[in-house]
Structure 1
Amino acid sequence: MSSRPITIVIAAALEALIGLVAAIAGIYSLYTAITGRAADPVSSAVPLAVIGVGVGALLVFVAHGLWQLRDWARTPVVVTQLFMAVIAYYMFTGGQFVIGSVMIGTAVIAAAAVLAPPTTAVLFTEAGNERR
């Protein structure tokens, strides 16, 4: 029997998924720069690729930390979901309702999972602090 509640599994999986999407978007930006489809590859596409892959790797690292029941990982997961909500708002204002809906839904579910009482109980126990 795993010591991870389902809320941690959900939050870690969604955080990793967000990281993978960010990395894939960064790789796609690099692809557009290489194939010449980017409007300005040097000043926008390549830096965007580096940022996308870097942020993606960081988010996967945070998801791994949450999976390993590290209490430090909770804050970056919450901050990620706040950023996702802001981006979703701008997707809605730009008429991208499907993407905005998926983003806000993911943000709400991940934030609720990481802030849920079972997650808090596992991450912030006296016994849990001894393993860090």
Structure 2
Amino acid sequence: MIYEEKYQELVELSHSDTSEIRKQADAWLVSIGLQDAAELKVSAFLLDLAIRNVKGEIIREEVSRRLNEHYADIQKRESKSGLDGGYEIIPPDSSKIKEIEEYNRELRPALYAELDKKRNND
């Protein structure tokens, strides 16, 4: 499968009738969205591992181990966003937060419609 097909499979899993599968796929898609907001693109290899994780074929620790093995010989590049493997603290007024939310709103419009509805009812 090519990258787009793997990504589409993960999106389809995020629409599963099984809530646990849906939650795991959503978590992967949000993390991929965060990478995209940082102007990074995940590999098809990672997408494959994410799909296998969501389907219950491998656990997250196995995903991490396989990533470390796969990329062990590759030198780490300078990050475009200042991320160094740790966490980046994004101030509440940062435009990055808006970019991330817009990306995720496009990805999951029904979820954000539900969240907006709950916010308006509070």
User: What's the TM-score, normalizing by structure 2?
Assistant: 0.32
**Structure whose residues are more often helix by fraction:** 1
- Look at both structures and tell me which one has the larger radius of gyration over its CA atoms: 1
Question: Which structure would you say has the larger RCO, counting Cα contacts within 8 Å and 6 or more residues apart?
Answer: 1
Give TM-score, length-normalised by structure 1. 0.30
